[in-house]
């Protein structure tokens, strides 16, 4: 799960944020005509949400919510930086904007809690990490953001190329390998290939030293490496960086990758990390668990649940016996998610086949 996703979930379920909450889930676009349709959809959601809000909270004022929505409607930067979809959560004092990389059901919710299920699903199998694209004599750095690799600008002190890292040393070697004195020429006895291997090793040590001593990894994200197999083998042998992960590699040349090829690399990384994560879930089945909704409802507010798995098959419309009560089956699941996260538990929204024992809903107990 992404750090920003986890932090948002924790904040929205904390005592510092209070309802009523108005949540809008909206698929977004970039073309002018489609943006206008998105704006109209948000306006219509605002009108419908107001009706539900005034019915549910007759003592509260709608004005703060209306003002914040109008601010968003008039914000060009908001509509110009559209992603696949967006989650908008409004309180009387704040607007939370969380960009999503998944399609959502265009919908709105008004209640005592924010609607979190789409944010959970988006954060699931969505990883924050750095990727070191390593050549024999150069490197570049990328950060994974919402399933996309974004180039990172490095400081002038970074040994981006072998020449930058070992410039003086290389020039000195070149001078020593072919010098003359009083008409006599002297050649180095060190083989050229051996010199190149020494430079190769020294360069990778310089790269590793940069990441250990100068690089600011404030969020303590893992660092993965991409490169030819022989380069990765040498770098990992020399590296002492505690953030470097050796269990997953991308064995391909990073030279002149197109945007499409970078996206393919990102997908490959996410797929490998996802498989690791799915395997870890299966071990949870060895602990105490429950699958009856009534039992889960009782245990969630008591903090007994460490992990709650919800199948995406549950995300269907449902209105109970009385449609006028504005009941929604997803709201029941959303309330459980809020309760578990509020008590420092984890919530997963997965395909049934990825849930231990293929359950539609499963709670792993702390005790």
Percent share of the chain, pLDDT over 90: 57
Chain centre to alpha carbon of residue 225: 18
- Residue-averaged pLDDT of the chain: 87
Q: Looking at residue 54, what is its pLDDT?
A: 94
pLDDT score recorded for residue 190: 56
In order, the DSSP letters of 9-71 are HHHHTSTTS-S-EEEEEEE---SHHHHHHHHHHHHHHHHHHHHHHHHH-TTS-SHHHHHHHHH
- For residue range 110-127, list pLDDT tens digits in order: 999 999 998 898 888 888
**Average pLDDT of span 314-328:** 58
Per-residue model confidence as pLDDT tens digits over 66-103: 999 999 999 988 888 878 899 999 999 999 999 988 88
The rounded distance, in Å, linking the Cα atoms of 151 and 259 is 11
Q: Assess contact for 282 and 163: CB atoms under 8 A.
A: no
pLDDT at 172: 56
Res. 277: pLDDT tops 60? yes
Would you place residue 321 in the very low, low, confident or very high pLDDT band (cuts 50, 70, 90)? low
* Mean pLDDT on 40-63: 94
- Cα–Cα dist 120/183, whole Å: 76
Q: What pLDDT sits at residue 188? A: 53
pLDDT for position 234: 95
Distances (CA, A) of 234 to 10, 69, 159, 238, 249: 41, 54, 17, 6, 13
99 φ/ψ angles, rounded to the nearest 5 degrees: -75, 140
The string of pLDDT tens digits covering residues 228-273 is 999 999 999 999 999 999 999 899 999 888 888 888 988 999 999 9
- Vertex 10: Cα angle to 12 and 244 (nearest 5): 140
pLDDT for position 59: 94
Say what the pLDDT of residue 180 is. 47
pLDDT digits (tens, 9 = 90+) for 151-185: 999 999 999 999 888 876 654 554 445 444 455 55
Q: In the predicted model, what is the mean pLDDT of residues 189-202?
A: 80
Q: If you count them, how many residues does the chain have?
A: 367
């Amino acid at each position: 799960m992404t750090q920003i996703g986890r932090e948002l979930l924790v904040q929205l379920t904390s005592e510092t944020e209070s309802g009523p909450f108005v949540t809008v889930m909206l698929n977004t676009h970039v073309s002018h005509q489609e943006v206008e349709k998105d704006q109209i959809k948000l306006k219509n959601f605002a009108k419908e949400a107001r009706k539900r809000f005034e019915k549910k909270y007759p003592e509260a004022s709608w004005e703060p919510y209306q003002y914040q929505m109008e601010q968003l409607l008039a914000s060009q930067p908001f509509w110009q930086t559209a992603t696949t979809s967006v989650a908008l959560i409004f309180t009387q004092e704040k607007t939370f904007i969380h960009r999503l990389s998944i399609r959502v059901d265009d919908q709105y919710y008004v209640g005592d809690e924010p609607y979190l299920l789409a944010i959970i699903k988006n954060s699931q199998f969505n990883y924050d990490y750095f990727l070191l694209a390593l050549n024999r004599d150069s490197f570049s750095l990328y950060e994974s953001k919402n399933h996309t690799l974004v180039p990172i600008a490095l400081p002038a002190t970074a040994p981006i190329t072998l020449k930058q890292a070992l410039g003086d040393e290389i020039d000195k070697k070149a001078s020593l390998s072919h010098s003359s004195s009083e008409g006599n020429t002297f050649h180095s006895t060190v083989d050229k290939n051996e010199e190149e291997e020494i430079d190769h090793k020294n360069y990778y040590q310089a790269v590793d030293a940069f990441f250990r001593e100068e690089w600011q990894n404030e969020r303590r994200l893992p660092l993965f490496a991409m490169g030819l197999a022989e380069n990765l083998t040498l770098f990992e042998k020399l590296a002492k960086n505690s953030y470097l992960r050796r269990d997953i590699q991308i064995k391909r040349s990073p030279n002149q990758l197109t945007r499409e090829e970078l996206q393919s690399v990102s997908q490959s990384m996410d797929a490998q990390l996802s498989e690791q994560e799915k395997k870890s879930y299966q071990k949870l089945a060895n602990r105490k668990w429950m699958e009856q909704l009534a039992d889960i409802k009782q245990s969630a507010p008591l903090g007994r649940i460490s992990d709650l798995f919800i199948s995406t098959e549950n995300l269907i419309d449902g209105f109970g016996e009385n449609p006028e009560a504005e009941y929604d089956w997803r709201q029941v699941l959303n309330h459980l998610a809020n309760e578990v996260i509020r008590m420092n538990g984890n919530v997963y929204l997965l395909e049934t086949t990825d849930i231990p024992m293929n359950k539609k809903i499963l709670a792993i107990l702390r005790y």
